């Protein structure tokens, strides 16, 4: 980096997975980057985009968490409810809390428009208040090529 460089370093993440633990990692990394003065963008694609649906479980108040579809986490031998309990006991921030922090710190949320076409997801199905932009792969690549760190999660 030149001493004269004025660009802020950025972390760009493609969140392809819809697994709760992967969403968790994406937000933790995003928030960590923001806390260190970097910029952060998360591109919600494919199964990841499903986590932004209005009817998705983690978006509900805690009481509604059990109503949602089963996460793949269950298949790994650790139930969602147990995981949630552990996180509560350890004062680990909820996904909802992490997302609020992420956005407050200036983190960007991009929804993949191609995924919306394939999956038949309409804008009104999504929590638009969380989304900064609807974008395609070109936007991701443009950002990633200028990022210090790019991850596919």
Residues that bind a copy of itself (CB under 8 A): 9, 11, 14, 16, 18, 21-22, 25, 28-29, 31-33, 35-36, 38, 45-47, 69, 72, 75-77, 83, 86-87, 90, 92, 114, 117-120, 136-138, 140-142, 144-145, 147-153
Residue 95 region, left (φ>0) first, then alpha (ψ -120 to 50), else beta?
alpha
Residue 12 beta carbon to a copy of itself: minimum distance, rounded to whole angstroms: 8
Tokens at 73, concatenated: 């986490």
CB 151 within 8 A of CB 32: no
Task: State the minimum distance, in angstroms, from the CB of residue 24 to a copy of itself.
Answer: 8
In the complex, least distance from residue 152 CB atom to a copy of itself, rounded to whole angstroms:
4
Nearer Cβ to a copy of itself (76/100): 76
Residues 152, 16 contacting (CB under 8 angstroms): yes
Phi-psi map region of 120: left, alpha, beta (phi>0 left; psi -120 to 50 alpha): left
């Amino acid at each position: 980096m030149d001493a004269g460089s004025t660009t802020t370093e950025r972390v760009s993440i493609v969140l392809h997975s819809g697994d709760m633990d992967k969403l968790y990692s994406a937000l933790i990394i995003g928030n960590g980057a923001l806390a260190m003065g970097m910029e952060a963008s998360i591109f919600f694609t494919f199964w990841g985009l499903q986590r932004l649906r209005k009817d998705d479980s983690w978006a509900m108040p805690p009481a509604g968490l059990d109503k949602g579809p089963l996460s793949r986490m269950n298949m790994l031998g650790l139930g969602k409810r147990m995981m949630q309990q552990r996180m509560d006991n350890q004062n680990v921030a909820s996904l909802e809390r992490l997302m609020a922090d992420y956005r407050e710190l200036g983190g960007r949320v991009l929804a993949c428009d191609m995924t919306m076409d394939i999956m038949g997801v309409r804008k009104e199905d999504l929590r638009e208040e969380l989304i900064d932009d609807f974008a395609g792969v070109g936007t991701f690549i443009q950002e990633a090529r200028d990022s210090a760190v790019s991850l596919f999660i």
